């Protein structure tokens, strides 16, 4: 796969095994893993309660196309955490986003989607879009874009309230699909007041607001939504939801469900365009339940977030000591450094500051010192089993690497 082949260095590291926040390669090197499967394993590799639940469920059936009791528990728990009453399971976050968009089109009877420049929501056709000199087009390198993206998608910069007003005014957008804080071009935090404006404008124009919490679950057990008391119409999440077993979920408000469920339940003998044969299977539900009950807990965040602070303090100290025009940002248990003096306010600024060669240099330097960072940008995730000494090792390696560069 593309993402495996494109790691820094002439060939990727081949994995022997991974446990907690450590990963061993086939040559016997033991890495402190700050990549954690790019969030899929952000609460640790192979957590014991989940391995136990999977073992138990394997003997009781893997997939049945019928709900299990665990799925009821999972639905109730997601409702409690995120504040939306109705939930459905899917296999991947990409799926969850595709299904959420279909529901949004059904509910609003509008064709288009609005995303933010520099976003990534999985391989969702409508969201693989970028601004190119102010015009919407496919992401560079995107293989086989389906149709002219101007027909399906509006793209604006994050944190730009007037652009949002203009884009939603024609009332042809079914939904804004957004990460509550952007994470895929480095961390981009919302300006103070931006979420209030986003919610007010989407409500006023009858546009649904879908928040993709797949990465921003790093902010707390109920994601960024709960931590900042946001009120989206729908939420999508995936990746770590079942500790890396392919499970994702999308939730919706009562009003959204009321408008979309009758059609989903209509006895047309047809598929609704939502779900898949393996979605919500008993193995997936058991793994999700164990993860929510025992792994993605408030106690885990009490360990992870202070470690992310330690990581940013260390990197910030090195940047200042060497007088480099760089900065480091944090979002809950996720931290990231970038090669520009101030945090970007939107995807355009972040993309403009990209330096792929410098990224590779840092990644390879770290890899050779048994540290894994998330590739393609410089992001680190803290797991419940990450140790302070792993963080301090990273700080030393970062300082040495930067020093060799400027020296
Ligand atoms: C915010 C966000 N949403 C959705 C996805 C898609 O996840 P998946 O590849 O598991 O479908 C990603 C993947 O990186 C993501 O970053």
Q: What is the pLDDT of residues 49-77, one digit of tens each?
A: 999 999 999 999 999 999 999 999 999 99
Consecutive H or E run containing 25: strand 22-25
Cα(62)–Cα(246) distance, rounded to whole angstroms? Answer: 13
The CATH classification number of 48-294 equals 3.40.640.10
Q: Which of 239, 250, 347 gets mutated to test ligand 1 (max ligand atoms within 8 A of its CB)?
A: 239
The per-residue pLDDT for 273 is: 87
What average pLDDT does range 279-305 have in this prediction? Answer: 98
- C-alpha angle 328/242/114, rounded to 5°? 60
Report yes or no: 84 and 253 within 8 Å, Cβ to Cβ: yes
Q: Using 50, 70 and 90 to split pLDDT, how confident is the model at 313?
A: very high
What's the gap in Å between 404 CA and the centre of ligand 1? 35
pLDDT digits (tens, 9 = 90+) for 114-124: 999 999 999 99
Tell me whether strands 248-252 and 371-372 are parallel, antiparallel or unpaired: unpaired
Q: What share of the chain is helix, strand, coil (3-state, %, to 5)?
A: 45, 20, 40
Tell me which long-range contacts 296-303 makes (C-beta under 8 A, separation of at least 24): 296/43, 296/217, 296/221, 296/240, 296/241, 297/221, 298/220, 298/221, 299/384, 300/43, 300/384, 301/220, 301/221, 301/332, 301/333, 303/382, 303/384, 303/386
**What are phi and psi for residue 191, nearest 5 degrees?**
-65, 155
**What are phi and psi for residue 184, nearest 5 degrees?**
-95, -5
Q: Atom 2 of ligand 1 has which residue's CA nearest to it?
A: 121
**What are phi and psi for residue 334, nearest 5 degrees?**
-120, 135
The per-residue pLDDT for 295 is: 98
Cα(224)–Cα(227) distance, rounded to whole angstroms? Answer: 5
What's the gap in Å between 407 CA and the centre of ligand 1? 38
What average pLDDT does range 379-396 have in this prediction? Answer: 98
Sheet of strand 327-331, all strands in order from the earlier edge strand to the far edge:
327-331, 334-338, 379-381
Report yes or no: 191 and 345 within 8 Å, Cβ to Cβ: yes
pLDDT at 2 over 90: no
Give the position, in ligand 1's atom list, of the atom nearest the Cα of 40: 10
Q: Atom 15 of ligand 1 has which residue's CA nearest to it?
A: 121
Number of Cα atoms under 13 Å in the Cβ half of residue 230 = 30
pLDDT at 272 over 90: no
**Distances, alpha carbon 383 to alpha carbons 42, 180, 251, in Å:** 5, 21, 25
Cα(297)–Cα(300) distance, rounded to whole angstroms? Answer: 5
Q: Using 50, 70 and 90 to split pLDDT, how confident is the model at 249?
A: very high
What average pLDDT does range 391-398 have in this prediction? Answer: 98
pLDDT digits (tens, 9 = 90+) for 22-38: 999 999 999 999 999 99
CATH topology of domain 2-46+297-406: 3.90.1150
Question: Is the CB of 93 inside a 6 Å radius of any atom of ligand 1?
Answer: yes
Find, among 381, 392, 398, the residue nearest to 334 by Cα: 381
Task: Locate 373 and state its tokens.
Answer: 């960072």
Going by C-beta distance under 8 Å and a sequence separation of 6 or more, which residues neighbour residue 387?
A: 21, 32
Best-predicted range by mean pLDDT among 2-6, 9-13, 300-304?
300-304
The per-residue pLDDT for 6 is: 85
Give the position, in ligand 1's atom list, of the atom nearest the Cα of 216: 1
Question: Is the CB of 127 inside a 6 Å radius of any atom of ligand 1?
Answer: no
The per-residue pLDDT for 56 is: 98
What's the start-to-end Cα distance of the chain, in Å?
A: 37
Find, among 122, 130, 66, the residue nearest to 99 by Cα: 122
Longest dimension (CA), the chain: 71
What average pLDDT does range 162-175 have in this prediction? Answer: 98
pLDDT at 265 over 90: no
Question: Is the CB of 121 inside a 6 Å radius of any atom of ligand 1?
Answer: yes
Give the position, in ligand 1's atom list, of the atom nearest the Cα of 119: 1
What's the gap in Å between 94 CA and the centre of ligand 1? 6
Question: Is the CB of 180 inside a 6 Å radius of any atom of ligand 1?
Answer: no
pLDDT digits (tens, 9 = 90+) for 88-113: 999 999 999 999 999 999 999 999 99
Question: Is the CB of 214 inside a 6 Å radius of any atom of ligand 1?
Answer: yes
Question: Is the CB of 239 inside a 6 Å radius of any atom of ligand 1?
Answer: yes
Cα(115)–Cα(171) distance, rounded to whole angstroms? Answer: 15
Find, among 340, 347, 344, 346, the residue nearest to 319 by Cα: 340
Q: Using 50, 70 and 90 to split pLDDT, how confident is the model at 270?
A: low
pLDDT, averaged across the chain: 95
pLDDT at 269 over 70: no
The per-residue pLDDT for 376 is: 83
Consecutive H or E run containing 36: none
What average pLDDT does range 330-341 have in this prediction? Answer: 96
- C-alpha angle 37/155/225, rounded to 5°? 55
What's the gap in Å between 321 CA and the centre of ligand 1? 36
pLDDT at 3 over 90: no
pTM of this structure:
0.97
Find, among 210, 229, 245, the residue nearest to 127 by Cα: 210
> Percentage of the chain with pLDDT > 70?
99
Cα(185)–Cα(292) distance, rounded to whole angstroms? Answer: 28
What average pLDDT does range 116-134 have in this prediction? Answer: 95
What's the gap in Å between 184 CA and the centre of ligand 1? 9
Domain spans of the chain, in order of start: 2-46+297-406, 48-294
Q: Atom 3 of ligand 1 has which residue's CA nearest to it?
A: 121
């Amino acid at each position: 796969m593309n993402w495996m082949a494109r790691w820094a260095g002439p060939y990727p590291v081949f994995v022997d095994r991974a446990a907690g926040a450590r990963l061993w390669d086939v040559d016997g090197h033991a890495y402190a893993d700050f990549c954690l499967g790019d969030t899929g394993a952000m609460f640790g590799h192979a957590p014991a309660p989940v391995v136990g639940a999977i073992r138990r469920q394997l003997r009781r059936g893997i997939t049945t196309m019928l709900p299990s009791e665990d799925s009821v528990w999972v639905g109730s728990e997601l409702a409690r955490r995120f504040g939306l009453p109705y939930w459905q399971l899917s296999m991947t976050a990409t799926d969850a986003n595709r299904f959420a968009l279909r529901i949004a089109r059904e509910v609003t009877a509008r064709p288009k989607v609005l995303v933010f420049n520099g976003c990534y929501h999985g391989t969702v056709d409508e969201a693989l879009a970028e601004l190119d000199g102010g015009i919407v087009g496919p992401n560079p390198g995107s293989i086989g874009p389906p149709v002219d993206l101007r027909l399906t998608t509006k793209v604006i910069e994050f944190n730009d309230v007037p652009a949002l007003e203009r884009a939603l005014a024609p009332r042809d957008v079914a939904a804004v699909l957004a990460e509550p804080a952007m994470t895929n071009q480095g961390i981009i935090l919302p300006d103070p007041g931006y979420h209030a404006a986003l919610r007010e404008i989407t409500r006023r124009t009858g546009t649904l607001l879908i928040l993709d919490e797949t990465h921003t679950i790093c902010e707390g057990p109920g994601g960024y939504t709960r931590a900042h008391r946001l009120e989206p119409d729908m939420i999508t999440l995936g990746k770590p939801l079942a500790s890396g077993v392919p499970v994702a979920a999308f939730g919706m408000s009562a009003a959204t469900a009321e408008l979309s469920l009758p059609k989903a339940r209509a006895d047309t003998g047809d598929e609704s365009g939502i779900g898949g044969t393996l979605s919500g299977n008993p193995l997936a539900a058991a793994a999700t339940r164990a993860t929510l009950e025992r792994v993605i807990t408030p106690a885990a965040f009490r360990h992870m977030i202070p470690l992310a602070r330690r990581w940013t303090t260390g990197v910030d100290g090195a940047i200042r000591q060497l007088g480099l025009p760089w900065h480091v940002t944090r979002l809950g248990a996720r931290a990231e450094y970038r090669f520009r003096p101030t945090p970007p306010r939107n995807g355009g600024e972040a993309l403009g500051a990209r330096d792929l060669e410098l990224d590779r240099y840092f990644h390879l330097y770290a890899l050779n010192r048994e540290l894994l960072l998330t590739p393609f940008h410089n992001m680190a995730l803290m797991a419940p089993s990450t140790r302070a000494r792993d963080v301090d090792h990273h700080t030393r390696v970062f300082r040495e690497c930067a020093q060799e560069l400027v020296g």
